[in-house]
Amino acid sequence: MSERVKPRILMITRNLPPLVGGMERLNWNMAEGLSRHADVRIVAPAGAGAMAPADTAVCEVPLKPLWRFLWSANLAALSEARSFRPHVILAGSGLTAPLAWQAARVSGAASMAYVHGLDLVVKHPVYRGLWLPAIRRMDRLLANSRATAALAVQAGADPARMSVVHPGVKLPEIFRSDADVQAFLAGQGLLGRTLLLSVGRLSERKGLKEFVQHALPRIVKARPDVMLLVAGDVPANALSSRAQLPEHVLAEAERAGVAAHVRFMGGVSDETLEILFRSVDAHVFPIRDIAGDPEGFGMVAIEAAAFGVPTAAFACGGVVDAVSEGRSGRLVAPADYPALAEAVLDVLARRASFRQPCTEFAAQFEWTQFHQRMLSEVTSMLEGMGHVHAAH
């Protein structure tokens, strides 16, 4: 088609609010940004319609069990593809890529999938036999980081049909007052302390127990007033072998002689997390390089930078895209805990000089940037395939 028309996009995802998490925020923003320039319909789990972006129609299917979601979502996607006649069918992750590919085949639409990392390395033979071939056949693959793009290539995807589109972040609009921050610190008995922050689910990959064991003692020796605050809880439905329970981390801290320097905050609200980011001196991100369990990106490092907080991290997986060495923090070789401890001490010593570079770096990831990249990818793919010229 050579005329300029508004493209129609059918999105298929298992990750939308009211479910909570990084993938849910990303998929919601993907739909919201595209809906400003396209007619968007979504196949998603029950409950998603009430929280969907404005001007998007949602076909709801059961969330659980997984097989029922996949079966119902596949039938719904085929029905929507025939009636809606979309120009693009977009999978919000590798999980729904086969559904998007099949619906695209029956409707003549272009197929696109956004991959996150874990959806490329699942070891289950059925997944590798059915899902990965569908991912490889997509007309366009979008990866959340360069590391995830490399995993896609290793899985057989064509690099010529792939782009990296980093997730976005909401930049703080109105900061909590200093009085609020001081009141919070006083209430927690943290006034005058040097504060480190770890944010995220307590999974084995996040490496908190190893950080407490191998890095924190060195930091405490140099900065006796330091306190590590841990915001996050155990992953829902996780096997204990894949989680790091708070009591196990604290037991390790006790053995290392630093238990008095570790405090678990549990799962926190967005409001409390904002106060934490406003209060701390550095964010630590000791991601472990575990085969079959990659860190696709590392959005929390961008969130920290948005508040002017530098990150000390291992250069692992997608973290190398989320932390700019010397600008928004420090990166060191994976599993080099002495080097990580020194990186933490370095960002603490130069805390003030990181504040502005951090916020400038985070600004590149603001959600409007993500929206523009997604629209550009959709438009260029369709124009290259001769389908449609998007309305801007």
User: How far apart are the C-alpha atoms of 312 and 325, rounded to whole Å?
Assistant: 9
Task: Compute the radius of gyration of the chain from its Cα atoms.
Answer: 22
Are residue 157 and residue 194 in the same domain, yes or no?
no
Number of structural domains, the chain?
Answer: 2
Are residue 196 and residue 132 in the same domain, yes or no?
no
Burial class (CB in 10 A: 0-12, 13-18, 19+), 91: buried
Segment 356-361 mean pLDDT: 96
Burial class (CB in 10 A: 0-12, 13-18, 19+), 196: buried
Are residue 277 and residue 314 in the same domain, yes or no?
yes
Is residue 173 in some structural domain? no
Is residue 245 in some structural domain? yes
Are residue 144 and residue 242 in the same domain, yes or no?
no
> Is 105 or 268 the better-scoring residue by pLDDT?
105
Model pLDDT for residues 116-154, shown as the tens digit of each residue: 999 999 989 999 999 999 999 999 999 999 999 999 999
User: How far apart are the C-alpha atoms of 215 and 338, rounded to whole Å?
Assistant: 6
Instruction: Determine if the pTM surpasses 0.75.
Output: yes
Are residue 252 and residue 338 in the same domain, yes or no?
yes
Are residue 333 and residue 380 in the same domain, yes or no?
no
Segment 58-75 mean pLDDT: 96
Is residue 226 in some structural domain? yes
Are residue 52 and residue 157 in the same domain, yes or no?
yes
Contact criterion met (CB below 8 Å) for 113 and 30: no
What integer best gives the mean pLDDT of the chain?
92
Are residue 35 and residue 104 in the same domain, yes or no?
yes
Is residue 66 in some structural domain? yes
Contact criterion met (CB below 8 Å) for 118 and 290: no
User: How far apart are the C-alpha atoms of 360 and 373, rounded to whole Å?
Assistant: 19
pLDDT level of residue 180 (50, 70, 90 thresholds): confident
pLDDT level of residue 391 (50, 70, 90 thresholds): very low
Is residue 70 in some structural domain? yes
Model pLDDT for residues 204-224, shown as the tens digit of each residue: 889 999 999 999 999 999 999
Is residue 3 in some structural domain? no
Strand blocks (E) in the chain: 8-12, 39-45, 56-61, 88-91, 110-115, 140-143, 162-164, 194-199, 226-231, 262-266, 282-285, 311-314, 329-332
Is residue 259 in some structural domain? yes
Is residue 390 in some structural domain? no
Q: Which two tokens stand for residue 295?
A: 């860190």
User: How far apart are the C-alpha atoms of 211 and 288, rounded to whole Å?
Assistant: 10
Residue 73 lies in domain: 8-168+366-385
Are residue 114 and residue 204 in the same domain, yes or no?
no
Are residue 15 and residue 114 in the same domain, yes or no?
yes
Q: Residue 1 pLDDT > 60, yes or no?
A: no
Are residue 156 and residue 18 in the same domain, yes or no?
yes
Are residue 199 and residue 161 in the same domain, yes or no?
no
Burial class (CB in 10 A: 0-12, 13-18, 19+), 71: middle
The CATH number given to whatever domain includes residue 347 is 3.40.50.2000
